[in-house]
Amino acid sequence: MRIVSLGDLILDVIVGLEGPLVSGDDRLATTRVGAGGQAANVAAWAASLGAASRFVGKRGADTAGELCRRELEQRGVEVAGPASGRNGVVVSLAQGGERSMASDRGSAPELAADELESAWFECDHLHISGYSLLRNPIALAAIRSAELARANRARVSIDLSAWSLIDDAFREHVRRIAPETVFATERERLEFGELETGWVVKRGARGVTVDGIEYAAHPTVVIDPTGAGDAFAAGFLTGGVDAGLGAAARCCARLGAMP
């Protein structure tokens, strides 16, 4: 199976705090710096689970972009797409099984439809990050990517990504893509509204609901939930619900979003 993901390849700065931040003072922490981004995470997890994996997106033509490209390739992922400008950076603060994120997407949203190559979308499944549908030109590139993938008889999925960012333009982009599968949290599913598709609703520690059927989460010790939804999506696409839940559990048990 070949899985292609489209979206952001960013530099992830994961900070595991031992306690709440103290204004004007220090707090001990454990940190990890490396490649990240929703689409990149899915690609890396898919590769770790045995799929042929390709990431498509625009990365920075800077040190951070080069670091991210090398790491993703070392994880067995083919990296496709142009490099220009500066790479995006996300700082994720993890504490007590919860996380807060500060995001700078860099040049990633500047990916244009005319920069895509049809050969990149010769695959069995295309997975599109919902962050790619928030602004142009990358939103138009995402719509075009679905057309190219379907020309190769691939199926298409979308992760809605963030409930607070869903608006009418976002909904219209999703409907134009017409994904066979949509991954969403309960809040994202409610915020989006009706769509005739296969819904995979992520419920955190309570597991997932797939087309109305509930599945319990795998037992795990939660160190950092960053990327657990991406790990689940990769597992689901490569091996079904149980594989997805297993990948999510492994992701939660360590610091960082990559396998």
> Residue 98's pLDDT is what?
65
The answer to whether residue 232 is domain-embedded is yes
Instruction: Say which residue the tokens 């409907």 belong to.
Output: 175
Q: Answer whether residue 96 shows pLDDT above 80.
A: no
Residue 100 pLDDT greater than 80, yes or no: no
Cα distances (Å, whole numbers) of residue 161 to 4, 78, 129, 250 = 17, 23, 7, 20
Number of domains in the chain: 1
Q: Is the Cβ–Cβ distance between 56 and 5 less than 8 Å?
A: yes
Q: Is the pLDDT of residue 183 over 90?
A: yes
In a domain, 102, yes or no: no
In-domain check, residue 27: no
Average pLDDT, the chain: 92
pLDDT tens per residue across span 156-174 = 999 998 889 899 999 999 9
pLDDT band per the 50, 70, 90 thresholds, residue 93:
confident
Structural domain includes residue 31: no
Is residue 14 in a domain? no
CATH code, 170? 3.40.1190.20
The Cα 97–Cα 255 span in angstroms is: 11
Residue 170 lies in a domain: yes
Report the DSSP beta bridge partners of residue 87: 106
Q: Domain of 164? A: 2-7+37-84+108-252
Token look-up 């059927």 returns 213
Tell me the pLDDT tens digit for each residue of 17-60.
777 776 777 778 878 888 999 999 999 999 999 999 999 999 99
Whether residue 172 lies inside any domain: the answer is yes
- pLDDT for 20 equals 76
Tell me, yes or no, whether 52 lies in a domain.
Answer: yes
In terms of pLDDT, which residue wins out, 92 or 108? 108
pTM flag (> 0.85):
yes
